[in-house]
Amino acid sequence: MQPADDWENGGGTVKATADTAGKFTIRRWLDSGFYFEVHQGTAVSNKITVYSRISPTFWVDRSAAAGTAVAAISILPNQPGLGVQVQRKSGSSWVNVKSFETADNDTGVTTSALSGQPGGDQTFRAVVSGDPSNAVRGATSAETSQWIAGGTTTPTTPPANPAVGSVKFTGIQYDSPGVDSGSNGSLNTEWAKITNTTKSTINLKGWTVRDQAKIIYTFPSYNLAAGASVFIRSGKGTNSGNQRYWGRAGKVGYVWNNDGEQATLRNAAGTNIDACVWRTVSPGYTAC
131: helix, coil or strand? Answer: strand
The more confidently predicted of residues 34 and 61 is 61
pLDDT tens for each residue of 229-243: 999 999 999 988 899
User: So what's the pLDDT on residue 34?
Assistant: 81
Please give the Cα distance from 72 to 193 (Å, whole number): 12
For 26, 31, 41, 70, the CA distances from 134, given in Å and listed in that order, are 20, 10, 27, 29
Q: Does residue 254 contact residue 180 with C-beta atoms inside 8 Å?
A: yes
* Residues 99-134 as b or e (16 or more Cβ within 10 Å = b): ebebbeebbbbbbbebeebeeeebebbbbbbbbeeb
Is the per-residue pLDDT at 108 higher than 80?
no
Given this chain, do its domains 54-148 and 167-286 carry the same CATH topology?
A: yes
Burial class (CB in 10 A: 0-12, 13-18, 19+), 18: exposed
pLDDT > 70 fraction of the chain, expressed in percent and rounded? 95
- How many CB atoms sit inside 10 A of residue 97's CB? 18
Domain 167-286: CATH architecture, name and number where available: Sandwich (2.60)
User: So what's the pLDDT on residue 155?
Assistant: 41
* C-alpha 166 chain-centroid distance: 21
Shortest CA distance to 155 belongs to which of 127, 103, 196, 114? 196
Domain positions in the chain are 1-50, 54-148, 167-286
Please give the Cα distance from 48 to 54 (Å, whole number): 20
Report cis status (omega within 30 of 0) of the bond before 77.
Answer: yes
Q: Which of 26-35, 49-58, 103-112, 167-176 has the highest mean pLDDT?
A: 167-176
Domain 54-148: CATH architecture, name and number where available: Sandwich (2.60)
- pTM (2 decimals)? 0.50
pLDDT tens for each residue of 137-173: 899 999 998 888 874 344 444 445 677 878 999 999 9
- Position 168: which residue type? K
